[in-house]
Amino acid sequence: MTNKVLVTGANGFVGRATCTALADLDIPVRRAVRSLPPEASPPVQWREDISRAQETCRVGDIGESTDWSKALDGIGVVVHLAAHVHVMKKSGARALAEFHRVNTAGTEQLARAAVKAGVRRFVYLSSVGVHGRSTNGRPFTEADVPHPHDAYTMSKWEAEQKLRTIANDSALEIVILRPPIVYGPGEPGNFVRLVQLVDSGLPLPLEAASARRSLIYVRNLVNAIITCVQHPGAAGQTFLVSDGEDISTRELVCRIADALGRRTTLIPLPLGCLRVLGRLTGKSKQLNSLLGSLVIDSSRIRRELAWSPPCSMSDGLRATADWYLARPST
């Protein structure tokens, strides 16, 4: 029987799915959120969802001074999903400071509080981006030297190092997961924007986008998270995790179109022209995520924890398309 699990970032895309999956397994869940709805605002600190047996705890802003003592009371495992991911219109130094405050110092504060509270295990959702922006010739593995490439991935890598230091000085079991792009129903970012583009029926200049990328369906990621919560062999480990089906953007667009029941037209515009267009429109980062190669080798978690994704990529794309098509019109 797994002890009660604290899930941070419980209102987020991955957090909601993780809390639901844990509750479905009858694992007690405490959802840590930055704020509660108005009806549960101060002085009320807790709210109980009787139907799902989930507690919700307000912890406020996450940083180096967050008080986690009440949230961690009676907790056996922490799943730390909360993170600052937004690109801000600030200078590089200010952006780096904000990412560091939430993602690095905030993670360290939570882990040290977990040690004091007697928490047994700490599962941390990092990012494949700590390895670098793209792969060249072979997939990333856990043995590769990290090369974080922006403020977000640097803050994630620094958080990983803080966690390892804490684990070395305590009995806290650290488990680190590094996923690639996560997709699925409710995804709020670039993936759903790609689905919107495919659904529009507009010709897309992606015929030449043949570089392969790894992805992970949210249900597969959640399943890996829960495996790391429960499996004795996960303690002290770092795992790359993906669907295991690495595909090109061109193929991904075609498969999304098929899931949507749409026809799509791809134009063979040279990649160099696309990159120039990205720079001119300020969309270089988004285009790089479509055009560059980023493939990971997730064999370690499969081998050491006997984990395999419960859903195929086709399952995930179909579920995402069904959710997208069922959304209310805006």
The pLDDT-based confidence of 50 (bands split at 50, 70, 90) is very low
* Phi, psi angle pair for 30, to nearest 5°: -115, 120
Mean pLDDT taken over the chain: 89
Residue 293 CB neighbours (<10 A): 17
Residue 269 lies in a domain: no
37 pLDDT band, cuts 50/70/90, is low
Q: Where residue 86 falls among pLDDT bands split at 50, 70, 90?
A: low
pLDDT at 79 over 70: yes
214 vs 272, higher pLDDT: 214
Query: Where residue 40 falls among pLDDT bands split at 50, 70, 90?
Result: very low
Decide if 124 is inside a domain: yes
Q: Within a domain: residue 248?
A: no
pLDDT attached to residue 270: 80
Question: Is 152 labeled as catalytic in the residue annotation?
Answer: yes
Domain span at 49: 5-178
Q: CB–CB of 90/98 below 8 Å? A: yes
Kindly indicate the confidence band of residue 51, based on its pLDDT and cuts at 50, 70 and 90.
Answer: very low
User: 327 in a domain, yes or no?
Assistant: no
Looking at residue 286, its pLDDT comes to 66
Half-sphere exposure at residue 321, Cβ-oriented, CA atoms within 13 angstroms: 20
Q: Which residue is listed with tokens 């395999």?
A: 308
Report whether pLDDT(172) > 50.
Answer: yes
245 assigned to some structural domain:
no
pLDDT tens-digit series, residues 257-301: 999 999 999 998 787 777 777 677 666 666 676 778 999 999 999
**What's the CATH code of the domain at 99?**
3.40.50.720
Q: Which of 152, 183, 217, 324 is flagged as catalytic?
A: 152
Q: What is the pLDDT of residue 41?
A: 42
* CA-angle at 42, arms to 37 and 48, nearest 5°: 55
Comparing 2 with 184, the larger pLDDT belongs to: 184
- Express each pLDDT in 314-324 by its tens digit: 999 999 999 99
Instruction: Identify the pLDDT of residue 251.
Output: 96
User: First-to-last CA distance in the chain?
Assistant: 44
**291 part of a folded domain:** no
pLDDT of residue 190: 87
Instruction: Report the DSSP beta bridge partners of residue 122.
Output: 78, 174
Alpha helices (H) in 25-137, listed in sequence order: 69-72, 92-99, 106-117
For the chain, how many structural domains are there in total?
1
More confident site: 37 or 315: 315
Q: Tell me the pLDDT tens digit for each residue of 138-168.
A: 999 999 999 998 899 999 999 999 999 999 9
Q: What is the amino acid identity at position 117?
A: A
The answer to whether position 50 is within a domain reads yes
What is the model's pLDDT at position 276? 73
In a domain, 249, yes or no: no
Mean pLDDT check: name the lowest of 36-50, 95-109, 207-221. Answer: 36-50
